[in-house]
Amino acid sequence: MEAQAHFSREEINSTVWEVPEKYTRLKQIGTGAYGSVCSTTNEKTKAKVAIKKLHRPFQSEIFAKRAYRELRLLKHMKHENVRNHLTVHLTIFSLQSLFLSYLVMPYMFTDLSKVRGHLSEDKVQFLVYQMLLSNHHSAHFLLQDLKPGNLAVNQDCELKILDFGLARSTDAEMTGYVVTRWYRAPEVILNWMHYTQTVDIWSVGCIMAEMINGKTLFKGKDYMDQLTQIMKVTGVPGPEFIQKLDTPEAKSYMKALPRYPRKDFSALFPRASVQGIDLLEKMLVLDGDERPTAELALEHPYFDSLRDPDDFPEPAPYDDSHDNDTLSLDEWKRKEVKSFVPFPRRDSKRKNTLTMSP
């Protein structure tokens, strides 16, 4: 636990930030549905860091559960391709007014959404390898929102996952909602069948295709247009796949589609190597049961020059028993304090700002 810190207050783009004084010259570098991110420098260590301010983490039970889950996953995922947080700042007036404000994390140079143009094959190989490694090490839950904006990279092409706000246990019930539709697996779009961790493999395939061609592969205007664009590349599946679908509506929809043939991936990705095309063809398959797991994808010859046995320690088991909890807002707040404050404390009516390392 750090010593008591002095805090400074600053307004950035109509958002009030209250952070320890050692963090200076805050500059907003990103914003999304669940939080805003600023870059800054730790004046004590001279290290550049990124600070994520969560948007209204205790607005409702759902928001509180999401914040709790993200902190648990970040705490659990001790892997070089996950942006582990350094510290958590809690601002406490009382239990009723508790809000978890900020995650302080290592700063990364940019994210993949800001990388323009074609990438060389060795860079594509290295980045996709790291994405699959992070997926392999998260074997007990779905990342579910893999997209270029959630993948930070530095000048050495090292990659880290930024956001675990939508991650779910592999056994948890999920809906078809994900933040960005362009990278969604087709089974997520229509929630048409039970799905597994290969939803993330689809997302990796979409991101790999984008890095090779320099443009988004499936840029649908809405749900239906997204699915149509996917079918024009993958082809419309036959009756065996249609029988796997969970609802009569999904089966009828698929049967009514025009008979699009599967596209020739070598023509679709003329800059890709033979091995790169083969990997893409395996990841971008409509039937999630036919896609490789991250472990199998990492065994593909495309990664022969990168594979290292030390990259594959056994993933640590993750306790997902909390993912199905249905609690009141105050109960979620108590859980936050119990899990991330390293010593027992009583509620106080006096404002008390704590800085701690979970």
Residue 217 lies in a domain: yes
Whether 144 maps to a domain, the answer reads: yes
Nearest to 207 by CA among 254, 155, 143: 143
Cα distances (Å, whole numbers) of residue 143 to 136, 203, 219 = 11, 10, 21
Structural domain contains residue 330: no
Domain with 144 in it: 110-303
- 258 in any annotated domain: yes
Going by pLDDT thresholds of 50, 70 and 90, the confidence category of residue 176 is very low
Q: CB-based contacts of 141: which residues, under 8 Å, 6+ apart?
A: 73, 167, 168, 169, 170, 172, 318, 320
> Tokens 């106080």 — which residue?
348
168 close to 176: Cβ distance less than 8 angstroms = no
Using 50, 70 and 90 to split pLDDT, how confident is the model at 316? low
What was the pLDDT predicted at 64? 77
* Catalytic residue list contains 347: no
| Tens of pLDDT, residues 217-244 | 999 988 888 989 999 999 988 888 888 8
Residue 53 confidence class, pLDDT cut points 50, 70, 90: confident
Q: How do residues 152-169 score in pLDDT, each as one tens digit?
A: 888 888 888 765 443 333
Where is the binding site for ATP, in residues? 53
Flag whether 244 is in a domain.
Answer: yes
Q: What is the mean pLDDT of the chain?
A: 75
End-to-end CA distance of the chain: 9
CATH of the domain at 261: 1.10.510.10
Three-state secondary-structure class, residue 99: strand
Catalytic residue among 111, 145, 163, 311, which?
145
DSSP lists the bridge partners of residue 223 as none
The neighbour count for residue 3, using CB atoms within 10 Å, is 5
Which pLDDT belongs to residue 138? 57
Contact at 8 Å (CB) between 148 and 174?
A: no
Alpha-carbon distance of 134 to 257, in angstroms, equals: 36
What's the rounded mean pLDDT across residues 4-10? Answer: 72
Q: For 270-283, what is the mean pLDDT?
A: 97
Q: Quick check: 98 and 336 in contact, CB under 8 A?
A: yes
* Nearest Cα residue to 283 out of 295, 296, 292: 292
Q: Does the residue 101 lie in any domain?
A: no
d(CA 265, CA 178): 27
229 in any annotated domain = yes
Q: Is the pLDDT of residue 78 over 80?
A: no
pLDDT beyond 70 at 347: no
Total domains in the chain come to 1
Q: Which residues are annotated as a binding site?
A: 53
Contact 176, 190 (CB under 8 A): yes
